[in-house]
Amino acid sequence: AGAMAAAENAFLRARGRTLTAFRPDAEYQWKGPFYFIQGADPQFGLMKAWTHGDTNNGDDEWGEEIKLAEQAVQAINKLNPKPKFFVLCGDLVHGMPGTRWKKNQEQDLKNVLKNTDPDIPLVFVSGNHDIGNTPSRETIDEYCKNWGDDYFSFWVGGVFFLVLNSQLYFDSSKCPELRQAQDAWLDEQLAVAANQKCKHIIVFQHIPLFLSKPDEDDDYFNLEKSVRQEIMEKFHKAGIRAVFSGHYHRNAGGSYKGLEMVVSSAIGCQLGQDTHGLRVVVVTEEKVVHRYYSLTELGSHGVGKELLDMLAKQK
């Protein structure tokens, strides 16, 4: 039973609006460069649904995605030095809340992810398929029971990380009070960060603020313009360095007044020309540098020399 509990605990580390894997008092100080792995959209079930042209009901097979997720975990486990954590930026599975295959898809994903090296904490971000395009208190509670809090913050080596529930920015019509609660919490967190003199602030959310230009038109894959403008300005004023997201199933991104928007393609189904992959993100005292690797490349060659050199520089 101990092993079962430990495995389950790996998925519920986001509790009380923080991540229990890192003790804040031990992590407020800068200790030199480190890196983490960002993945997005394993989305068990989309590949079949997409090929069959039935994205509502066609997700009754996900063998292909299981293989890709296993490949991702194997690639991460081989990395040396180890990443500080592995963050999954939403759409863990394809089944929407209440749909037929969701529970099985989630169980299969957990079975793959629990093979991640126990020294590499898993960080989960909620996506639209996890809590619904229009989330409710019920769908969010259900997500939290399975994967931990829907928004929280944590410190690693003098860097402050924020995980946000971007569905509340997309459509909070069924739970406006939860949107207000996240907004109030975010303002408090940014005040804390300002007092703590952190090296960088980095945000994770599922839906990108924008895909390439801050003033681009509204789209299924970005946040609505007025909401986007308000968040970008808030992030810019707080000195946030980068926002990492998924949702688009393609690599994209741009910048707004020094805030970098990084959109990473999927571990699972590709909707563009990119390959199934993961992003390696190196954090140095001055900057945040990242590179997207295909699963095959990361699994066979590991992190590239230029990024390893940056990690070794200030030791």
> What is the full per-residue pLDDT of the chain (315 aa) written as tens digits?
566 666 668 999 999 999 999 998 899 999 999 999 999 999 999 999 998 888 888 899 999 999 999 999 999 999 999 999 999 999 999 999 999 999 999 999 999 999 999 999 999 999 999 999 999 999 999 999 999 999 999 999 999 999 999 999 999 999 999 999 999 999 999 999 988 889 999 999 999 999 999 999 999 999 999 999 999 999 999 999 999 999 999 999 999 999 999 999 999 999 999 999 999 999 999 999 999 999 999 999 999 999 999 999 754
User: Residue 213 has what pLDDT?
Assistant: 98
> 59, 49 in Cβ contact below 8 A?
yes
User: Residue 270 has what pLDDT?
Assistant: 97
User: Residue 9 has what pLDDT?
Assistant: 84
> 162, 186 in Cβ contact below 8 A?
yes
User: Residue 81 has what pLDDT?
Assistant: 95
In a domain, 310, yes or no: no
In a domain, 27, yes or no: yes
In a domain, 308, yes or no: no
Angle at 307 between CA 305 and CA 311, to 5 degrees: 110
User: Residue 314 has what pLDDT?
Assistant: 58
Q: How many domains would you assign to the chain?
A: 1
Domain enclosing residue 56, as ranges: 1-297
In a domain, 233, yes or no: yes
In a domain, 306, yes or no: no
In a domain, 161, yes or no: yes
Distance in angstroms (rounded) separating the CA atoms of residues 171 and 153: 22
In a domain, 60, yes or no: yes
Tell me the pTM. Answer: 0.97
CATH number for the domain spanning 235: value is: 3.60.21.10
In a domain, 309, yes or no: no
User: Residue 25 has what pLDDT?
Assistant: 87
